[in-house]
Structure 1
């Protein structure tokens, strides 16, 4: 541990010294800031500004189901050409135009179509940056490689910490349409930190991790481990939409917590996550990435059982701290594992893995809605506990099959 801590400044120096790593860090912060500002407010926009019913507004999140298809198409194109940053810029511009069009929509159907058709491609921008970072690390290897990815990923998480607060404040002061315009600006501003930087196409397009030759076409069998890992991640992530939908209602309507206390309980998770992400990289070097993810999934089991059974502020704080542990592990290591499971098609691997939250939102929304009706609050949280337990068992089995492939 002491040895790793002495290396931490070198990781920061590597990030700051590289125009790509430094620019990607700022770009992902802007991406997280913009998207997380809009995500909690979009339903209100549909209801208040466009006259949607609550049920119709909830259906908006199903438009996320096109994101995996768009991400796969962009990733495949990226692996064929090696032009990561060019595609990143195209996706960022698409996101800018999409959010701007939603902000000025006058008909209810427009945000649904724009989100499904345009914003699905915009979401692929993040996967292109991680693919470009991987290529650069392969071309200029460093012992701090995992740390570099973790630092860049932390910037995205930090954006998600700041964004909801900033979005709520801007919506209250200037209106929901102004907030959506700000999201569009943040999405476009991702391009600025990278300037006119270009990737190393000569090395990136031809070889993958450990010199493995890349191929534009990846057979389904070669993606089996990646798809299994992504599916297990979806099970873990499905608890997030359930938690954000029902934990505030539970705290406000049944436990009657004051707003400040409820906000503190919700807000502690991302702070714990940020603190634990660098530590996860250190621990993974000792015990392996997938075994650590098994532990992370079990944290999710414990967290949701605390939500379901304690009924006290202390119990909910403990649950959120455990959830911070879940995402400190998965956010810090997930993209690294995904890329190592498909080293011949890094952009495709990144796109497939990063599509998991969109699919999880649909799964969590469906499971949470049915569970809340059948079990009520707080027992609905037993459902994500069961999903996380299934994920832990699956990750344990996956580690036995491919653990050596992802060991750092």
Structure 2
């Protein structure tokens, strides 16, 4: 009997993938606005309450530590029940943490502030884990672009958030709340709305539907493949198939690329507002620089995803190390005072965001391709735990390095550390070449 193959064994229905991406774009826009609050004023708020520059990196360490726990729990929940409950719970938790920061700043309660920042970190984990949901239903040769679409949506809210430091500060003053807590008012509303969007409209659940398609796939086929996967030229390049063939090594390399980028990016970014304000520049200037940085973190995502799909994740990962090195050197050489200082620091932070984006999207592709489908969500969650721990380390150490040796030292060390991804990727490339399956030859009988 002949006929069309069952829909479950091919690509996901286009309308299902479009609906999933639409909902994720909406929630990521809201989540980006909430995430930007901590990035922009978290260090300044801690400096105000704690009275120490050396501890100014503590908020980032706390909310990235909270992100580590959040990534682990959301990954476990998603593995058992799907993406929708995990992501909705993560955004809702971040909304509660944001409200706690506002309360702590109002009553000037340092222990409450530290605890609330830890809880607030769940939002960062949720916004990053959403990129995997965008790729669940995408055919393998389009996963990079699907990931990039979800990440780019974060740009809208993340860029708008820092630019609203002034207006939200004015609103906070009008309500009798310290001005630096104003962005966290926005974060509480934004994260709460993102939770409602995910909980109400992320249907069908992309991970659960992807598993149904996997179970319906023919025996011996690990997951549904796009009909033209063998003829597009992308799958035959060897980059992505090599990752799959390398198995666990692909997960380790992808995780290492993302962890290194996160450590470098968080360390330099955290102390940039402190560096600028310490040399006479206002919080508005610091907010603008961070806004540009956050935009550069997410805006290039569609192009990065296209590059990953086109040339493979390994070359893109190498490029991330080079761009991060350039960002560190430029930040170190930028004059701290004068008219040109903020512009050069801003350019360095843009490069920092682009380098991080290249590492995130390429590393995500490696992990997604190498992880077994039946364990993919939990593996992805554990990888993001590593990213969060790296961010917490970078945030905590950054303040100590600046207090002891200055901002330029921090920037140079961070840029140099980024080059650590190059030998890791080179080793992965050799492994991919050794394990890449030989292309089948045409049969003489046709």
TM-score in terms of structure 2 length = 0.70
Check conservation: 2:132, 2:147, Cα contact below 8 A: no
Output the CA distance in 2 between the equivalents of 1:212 and 1:151.
Answer: 26
2:110 matched to 1:113?
no
Task: Give CA-to-partner distance per residue, 1:191-242, whole Å, 9 cap, x none.
Answer: 34342424163642684999538xxxxxxx9756424432332222323233
Match of 2:409 among 374, 379, 399: 379
Check conservation: 1:85, 1:128, Cα contact below 8 A: no
Match of 2:157 among 156, 159, 178: 159
Output the CA distance in 2 between the equivalents of 1:159 and 1:128.
Answer: 17
Q: How does 1:261-276 map to 2 (within 5 A)?
A: 267-272=291-296, 276=300
2:142 matched to 1:132?
no
Output the CA distance in 2 between the equivalents of 1:45 and 1:316.
Answer: 21
Unpaired runs of 5+ in structure 2? 1-13, 224-245, 437-446
Specify whether residues 353 and 165 from structure 1 end up closer, same or farther in structure 2 by C-alpha distance, changes over 3 A only: farther
2:378 matched to 1:348?
yes
Which residue does 2:84 correspond to in 1? Answer: 85
Output the CA distance in 2 between the equivalents of 1:202 and 1:265.
Answer: 41
Task: Give CA-to-partner distance per residue, 1:258-279, whole Å, 9 cap, x none.
Answer: 9888776655444555553322
Output the CA distance in 2 between the equivalents of 1:277 and 1:377.
Answer: 28
Output the CA distance in 1 between the equivalents of 2:193 and 2:297.
Answer: 25
Unpaired runs of 5+ in structure 1? 1-13, 214-220
Q: How does 1:171-190 map to 2 (within 5 A)?
A: 171-174=169-172, 175-176=177-178, 177=181, 179-190=183-194
Task: Give CA-to-partner distance per residue, 1:101-135, whole Å, 9 cap, x none.
Answer: 3333444322323444x445555433553443333
Output the CA distance in 2 between the equivalents of 1:366 and 1:185.
Answer: 28
Output the CA distance in 1 between the equivalents of 2:204 and 2:15.
Answer: 17
Q: Secondary structure at the match of 1:40?
A: helix
Check conservation: 1:84, 1:128, Cα contact below 8 A: no
Which residue does 1:218 correspond to in 2? Answer: none
2:74 matched to 1:74?
yes
Q: Which has the larger radius of gyration?
A: 2
Which residue does 1:23 correspond to in 2? Answer: 23
Output the CA distance in 1 between the equivalents of 2:415 and 2:421.
Answer: 10
RMSD: 3.8
How far 1:178 sits from its partner (Å)? 5.1
Output the CA distance in 1 between the equivalents of 2:46 and 2:332.
Answer: 31
2:176 matched to 1:199?
no
2:230 matched to 1:232?
no
Which residue does 2:7 correspond to in 1? Answer: none
Q: How does 1:171-320 map to 2 (within 5 A)?
A: 171-174=169-172, 175-176=177-178, 177=181, 179-194=183-198, 195-196=200-201, 197-199=203-205, 201=208, 203-204=210-211, 207=214, 211-212=221-222, 225-248=250-273, 267-272=291-296, 276-309=300-333, 311=335, 316=345, 319-320=348-349
Q: How does 1:57-68 map to 2 (within 5 A)?
A: 58-63=57-62, 64-68=64-68
Output the CA distance in 2 between the equivalents of 1:110 and 1:258.
Answer: 27
Task: Give CA-to-partner distance per residue, 1:157-179, whole Å, 9 cap, x none.
Answer: 33221112224430233244554
Specify whether residues 366 and 192 from structure 1 end up closer, same or farther in structure 2 by C-alpha distance, changes over 3 A only: closer
Specify whether residues 136 and 283 from structure 1 end up closer, same or farther in structure 2 by C-alpha distance, changes over 3 A only: closer
Output the CA distance in 2 between the equivalents of 1:44 and 1:258.
Answer: 11
Greater shift in the superposed pair: 155-164 or 324-333: 324-333
Output the CA distance in 2 between the equivalents of 1:30 and 1:103.
Answer: 18
Output the CA distance in 2 between the equivalents of 1:142 and 1:396.
Answer: 23
Task: Give CA-to-partner distance per residue, 1:139-158, whole Å, 9 cap, x none.
Answer: xx486443222111101133
TM-score in terms of structure 1 length = 0.76
Q: Secondary structure at the match of 2:40?
A: coil
Match of 1:399 among 416, 429, 443: 429
Specify whether residues 91 and 69 from structure 1 end up closer, same or farther in structure 2 by C-alpha distance, changes over 3 A only: closer
Greater shift in the superposed pair: 318-327 or 301-310: 318-327
Q: Secondary structure at the match of 1:172?
A: helix
Check conservation: 2:57, 2:398, Cα contact below 8 A: no
Match of 1:329 among 338, 358, 370: 358
Q: Secondary structure at the match of 1:212?
A: coil
Q: Secondary structure at the match of 1:90?
A: helix
Output the CA distance in 2 between the equivalents of 1:130 and 1:199.
Answer: 14
Output the CA distance in 2 between the equivalents of 1:131 and 1:274.
Answer: 15
